[in-house]
Structures are given as structure tokens and as C-alpha cells.
Amino acid sequence: MEPRHRETRLKRGSPDTNPWAPAQGSGLGHAAKSVALACLLCVPILSLGAWRMGSYWGAIEQARLAALEESRAHTALVSAPALPLLDAETAARGRDLFTSACVACHGAGGTGIAGLGADITRSPFVAARDDNEMVKFLVAGRPNAQPVGMPPRAGRDDLTDEDLHAIVAYVRGLQDPRRMPALREPVLAGVAPVTAGELDAALAAAGGDEELAEYIASGTKLFAASCTACHAQGGVGIKGNGPSMIGNAFVKSLDDDGLLAFLKRGRDPSDPKNTTGVGMPAKGGNPALDEDDLLDIIAYLRTLEKGNGSASAAK
């Protein structure tokens, strides 16, 4: 006897279309038909596969050629006749902004700092891109790079597209010194003037002490211009780049002289006291900061030190 469930199943379709129906013709003829059908089906599938493989390898080859061309971009640039000299004021402004926003990671002159930012003077990536593409890159940054990320706009929301264009102009001169005009003396750039609202906030933080309030307000601006690439706006820290300054135990543990000495020296990854494996550059990497600037920054750090560590985004 057939099991019941098989019977009910057979009743559902007509015997002609039912795949479970017993074979009508000869078994051999059916086998031949099935093989033929299978082959017919295989042809488009196999050719589709071959086409897909072909375009896959084609894309790889294209990417390889593009990478090869890019890798030669800098050599091609410096061996070709020089492009016109850069506008001297734009390049100088770019240099001052570069010192404030980029030197911390890419070093003075952009030649790179091991473990922080790449050498951008001989970078094929830079040479292969036009100015607008470079500005687009700076806006996006490379936040997921290891071991440190390059934050969007280098962590400096205040930099306008015009500022970024000036920075790119300066980078063009670093990349091909034949284009670099003679530059005027550097000035501390990228530091916005203190607003009335900020002065009020600083006055509150200083408990009404007007002189201290001025230091704090100035320190807030200088911190925003030199330290936020790694410690973020408001000093809340960026995971992987720099620890939070909010309620920071190290800051609390030192008096102003001790902190000043620390900021002047920084803390190299090779320093046994280094806790992150990432370097804290001397003067936060901004050589334009003088002692008074650093003391203003310390006055600002003191206001953050009182904060509650749980408000921080990173260690």
C-alpha cells in the first residue's frame, strides 16, 4: 500500500503536469530529453559566467593600470616643465593655516611624522588630483586610517573652503618647490577673534576674574586652532587620536609650570609614560605657539579639568 500523504499529493495536479507522475514514454527517451534541456540551460548560464568573469578581470586590470598611473603621478609632475609660480599671498596664508591645522600630523614642510600623517610632498595621491579634488578630500578626511585617523577638515570645522584652497596651494608648492614663491614671515593663523558671548562664558568660568577670563577665552580659541585634530572641539577626545581633557587626571596632577613643560615637550610614543602608542607632538605640533599662548591654553584646560569624565567621547 502507498502511504496516504503520497496519494493526496498525486490527486492535486493532472497526471500530465505532475512531476511526481510515473513516466509515460520510454525511460531512455526521457533521459535524452533531460540531458538536452540541461545543456540548453547551461549555455546561457555558462556564457553569463564567462562574461561576468571577463568584466571582473577587466575591472581588476583597469584598477591596476590606474594605480600604476597614480604611482607615477608625482615623478611625472616633477619631471615635466614647471607649472606657473603660485600666488605669494595665497601660498603664505596656506602655509600659516597648514602650520595650525596640518603640521601636528604631517610635520613641518609636510614630510610626514611616523605613526601620524603621511609624507604629502611626494604623494602620488596628491599629484594625481586637481585642486578641487584635493579640497574634497580634505573636507572628507580619512577618519578610519590606522593607527590615527585624519578627521574631516582636519578636525577644524572653522576652516572655510577658501582656507582649504589656500592650504592646497601651499601643498602644491611643497610638492613641486619650483612653484613656491618667496613667502613672507609666518603669522599665527586660523585663530578667530574672541566673541562677546565667549568672553561672557569665560568670565563665568573664571568666577568673575576679568584677567583670567581673557586668558581662558584666548586659550579656547588657541585650543580650537591647534589641538582639536586630536582632542576634538571642547576637548572631549577622539578615540585613537588623543584622550579627553574633560576631568583629565594628568592635567589635574600638574601645576601650570608642569603642564607648560609637558606641552613644550609633548610625549613621544617611545616615552615609557605614553599610554596610547600615539604621539602627543611638542606644542601640539604648532611651533607658532609661544609661552603666553600655551599658558592661555592651560587656563582653558583648567576649566575642562573640572568637568566630569563621563561627558567625554573617548578616553
Interface residues with ligand HEC (CB under 6 A) are 101-102, 104-106, 116-118, 120, 123, 125-126, 138, 142, 145, 148, 150, 154, 167, 171, 223, 226-227, 229-231, 241-243, 248, 250-251, 263, 267, 274-276, 278, 280-281, 284-285, 297
Judged by beta carbon, residue 213 or residue 226, the one nearer ligand HEC is 226
The residues, ordered by sequence, that sit 6+ positions from 272 with a Cβ below 8 Å of its Cβ are none
Which residue do the cell numbers 586659550 mark?
A: 219
Judged by beta carbon, residue 125 or residue 179, the one nearer ligand HEC is 125
Judged by beta carbon, residue 161 or residue 200, the one nearer ligand HEC is 161
What are the cell numbers at 150? 585624519
What count of residues does the chain have? 315
Cα diameter, the chain: 106
**Residue 305 amino acid letter:** E
Could you tell me the smallest distance in angstroms from the CB atom of residue 267 to ligand HEC? 5
What 182-188 contacts at long range (C-beta under 8 Å, 24+ apart), as own/partner pairs, is: 182/88, 183/88, 183/91, 183/92, 183/95, 184/88, 184/89, 184/92, 186/92, 186/95, 186/96, 186/99, 186/288, 187/96, 187/288, 188/96, 188/100, 188/288, 188/289, 188/293
Judged by beta carbon, residue 10 or residue 266, the one nearer ligand HEC is 266
Could you tell me the smallest distance in angstroms from the CB atom of residue 123 to ligand HEC? 3
Could you tell me the smallest distance in angstroms from the CB atom of residue 43 to ligand HEC? 46
C-alpha distances in angstroms, 173 versus 62, 103, 178, 234, 266? Answer: 31, 15, 7, 33, 29
What are the cell numbers at 72? 607615477
Of all residues in this chain, which one has the CB nearest to ligand HEC in the complex? 284
Judged by beta carbon, residue 200 or residue 290, the one nearer ligand HEC is 290
Judged by beta carbon, residue 10 or residue 247, the one nearer ligand HEC is 247
Could you tell me the smallest distance in angstroms from the CB atom of residue 220 to ligand HEC? 11
Could you tell me the smallest distance in angstroms from the CB atom of residue 40 to ligand HEC? 51
Could you tell me the smallest distance in angstroms from the CB atom of residue 65 to ligand HEC? 19
Judged by beta carbon, residue 167 or residue 206, the one nearer ligand HEC is 167
Contact 204, 276 (CB under 8 A): no
Could you tell me the smallest distance in angstroms from the CB atom of residue 39 to ligand HEC? 51
Q: Cα separation of 183 and 166, whole Å?
A: 13
